[in-house]
Structure 1
Amino acid sequence: MEKLFIIKIGGNVIDNEENLSFFLGDFSKIEGKKILVHGGGKIATKIGEQLGLQPSYINGRRITDDNTIDLVTMVYGGLVNKKIVAQLQAKNCNAIGLTGADANIIPAKKRPVKEVNFGWVGDINSETLNIKYLELFIENSIIPVFAALTHDSKGHILNTNADTIASTLAVALSKKYQVRLMYCFEKKGVLENIEDDNSVIRLIDKEKYRQLLQENKLFEGIIPKLDNAFDAINTGVKEVLIGDAKDLLQNITTETVGSLIK
């Protein structure tokens, strides 16, 4: 099976032009098959405030009302996505900007209302992805760059977590490729001590994860990433790497410096 890197970029890397340019330079140097997935939440919040829209969160998750879905569609699918694609073209990396609506690659379901109405938020299932169109890009050396947007097959765009899009793509494509799913952000990896950037846990298996949870050693924000990682591993993805965007070229090798999940 051929290798495929699915790389999600987020956090402070996208908000900082210098960091993003450095990362995209490294991304463009990765040989072989690759996909990039990005968010853009802080940029959406900033532009929303300029337009008089205040973000609303419950349990750390953005409520996506009618105004907010228009905002994130413009920012994720337009501004951020096309800037990334243009920068990759400048680095001789032939990319195409996509949302889940394009070529019907990622149909989703609007999240049902339970205790909280999250609005226009999409939940996805790797079994329903239309991978054959995505493979056309990959096999023709065109690099897909996905914004964190899907659609409900009824004409509505849905705001969808970028980590989840990356892991769902990884699961669907693991039937054909040997996938390494990578979450890149501003930390060196999963830290044993949040105050110490050098306390990276190099290798995490299910037993180690259970132990870390029992000992309350994990920063809350990293737990959804790890849950996504283990979901992906359990359904065919070879390995998941969580690490610093600056270490990208090191972390695509066997000598990783981030947290490798197997």
Structure 2
Amino acid sequence: MNLSVIKIGGNIINNPAALHEALDYFASLVEPAILVHGGGRKASQVITEMGREPVMIDGRRITDEATLEIVTMVYAGLLNKNVVAQLQHRGTNAIGLSGADANAILAEKRPVKDIDYGFAGDVKAVNAPLLDGLLRLGLRPVMCPITHNHKGQLLNTNADTIANETATAMAAHGYEVSLQYCFEFPGVMRDIKDSDSAIPSLTPGSYADFKADGTIVGGMIPKLDNAFAAVGAGVKEVVIGDLAALRAGKGTRCTRA
């Protein structure tokens, strides 16, 4: 059975028009689908409004106890339930999940090495039988980036990682999975100033070549590392692009060969 796992980030969540378009796209999918959302920009906004200073190192949030409370309210409450309500409006019977709900995602607190990220969680297991059961009931899971450690502790987990681990778990459960990362560019760009320079396809070999010659650098590297980890673990394809590209069946398609 085919399955689409769609990840939308803060650039879409924070833009009402873009969010409505993304949810229209998700609701239009015929095959079973799972939505994973981030929302880091909204979380940082709320943290600031509550008189605290967001702390980020290399794009990763330092999550102390107070920050964990705020991001849980924002991700698992405000954003997740707004997305679910908007999908219900579109006739899509969505169900919002944190990792703690029905033990959907088990994680562990990230070990302290050079940096103490606080209550950041690294995924240990995704409950594929649960998600399979919900999909077979005609429900569409909407997953937020809050997980738990089965000891009563909530954890803040990167949404890209949740999408990657969810897609991998569902592939191992027998689904043909297309993982789609919806972000602000038409694909992985040769030149971000040239909207026509999206790379149409990547394999592990061509990805290595583009890294070696400096075409792919910076923040795209961890995203693509995750993409090829998913492909190597059984996900059929990972597609990266903006909403227009995904709607048109374009974007950068990452495959095994």
Common fold: TM-score over 0.5: yes
| Identical columns (%) | 46
CA contact (8 A) 2:97 2:104 kept: no
Name 1:166's counterpart in structure 2.
163
Q: Given residue 205 of structure 2, which amino acid in structure 1 is its aligned partner?
A: E
Q: Give the TM-score normalised by the residue count of structure 2.
A: 0.96
Match for residue 234 of structure 1? 232
Which of 184, 187, 193 is the aligned partner of 1:186?
Answer: 184
The one-character-per-residue Cα deviations of 1:30-81 (angstroms, maximum 9, x if unpaired) are 1120000000000011111111011011122110011110011000000110
Any residues of structure 2 matched to 1:212-223 within 5 Å, and which?
A: 212-223=210-221
Distance 2:7 2:69 in 1: 23
Partner of 1:254: none
The amino acid of 1:65's aligned partner reads: D
Q: In structure 1, list runs of 5 or more residues that go unmatched.
A: 252-256
Contact 1:98-1:146 at 8 Å conserved across structures? yes
TM-score, structure 1 length as denominator?
Answer: 0.95
Unmatched 5+ stretches in structure 2: none
Who is 1:260 aligned against? 253
Alignment-derived partner of residue 109 in structure 2 = 110
Number of aligned residue pairs: give it.
Answer: 254
In structure 1, what is the equivalent of residue 136 of structure 2? 139
CA distance in 1, matches of 2:130, 2:244: 31
Question: RMSD of aligned C-alpha atoms?
Answer: 1.0
Q: Does residue 1:152 correspond to 2:145, yes or no? A: no
1:23 Cα deviation after fit = 1.2
* Structure 1 counterpart SS, 2:248: helix
2:211 touches 2:217 (CA, 8 Å); kept in 1? Answer: no
Instruction: Give the drift of 1:228.
Output: 0.5
Q: Distance in 2 between matches of 1:47 and 1:23?
A: 23
CA distance in 2, matches of 1:207, 1:219: 16
Report if aligned partners of 1:56, 1:62 keep a CA contact under 8 Å in 2: yes
Code of the aligned partner of 2:105: I
Contact 1:23–1:248 at 8 Å: present in 2 too?
Answer: no
